Amino acid sequence: MGATWTSVTPYLGVAALFLALLSLLFLFFLARRVARFARPFEALAQAAESASVGDLLQAQLQGVERNSHRIEETLAYTRHLRTQAMNALQGIGFLRYDAFDDIRGQQSFSVCMLDAHQNGVLVTSIAGRMDSRTYAKPVRDGQCDTAISAEETRAIGLARESLSEAHEPVVAGI
The packing angle between helices 2-50 and 53-87, to 10°, is 100
What does the alpha-carbon distance between residue 27 and residue 17 come to, in Å, rounded to a whole number?
15
Residue range 149-168, pLDDT digits in tens: 999 999 999 999 988 775 55
Length, in residues, of the chain = 174
The answer to whether the CB of 137 falls within 8 A of the CB of 148 is: yes
What does the alpha-carbon distance between residue 163 and residue 170 come to, in Å, rounded to a whole number?
17
The answer to whether the CB of 142 falls within 8 A of the CB of 156 is: yes
0.85 surpassed by pTM? no
Q: Do 74 and 117 fall into the same domain?
A: no
Residue 94 lies in a domain: yes
- Of 87, 154, 143, the closest CA to residue 115 belongs to 87
| Beta-bridge mates of residue 139 | 120
- Of 115, 117, 113, the closest CA to residue 136 belongs to 113
Residue 174 lies in a domain: no
Q: Do 101 and 116 fall into the same domain?
A: yes
Q: Do 110 and 148 fall into the same domain?
A: yes
- pLDDT band for position 8 (50/70/90)? confident
Residue 120 lies in a domain: yes
What does the alpha-carbon distance between residue 115 and residue 84 come to, in Å, rounded to a whole number?
10
Q: What pLDDT, on the 0 to 100 scale, is given for residue 47?
A: 67
Range of the domain at 32: 2-84
Residue 173 has pLDDT above 60, yes or no: no
From the centroid of its chain, how far is CA 92? 21
Q: Which of 24-33, 50-59, 95-104 has the highest mean pLDDT?
A: 24-33
Q: Do 72 and 114 fall into the same domain?
A: no
| Beta-bridge mates of residue 138 | 121
Residue 170 lies in a domain: no
Residue type, 118: Q
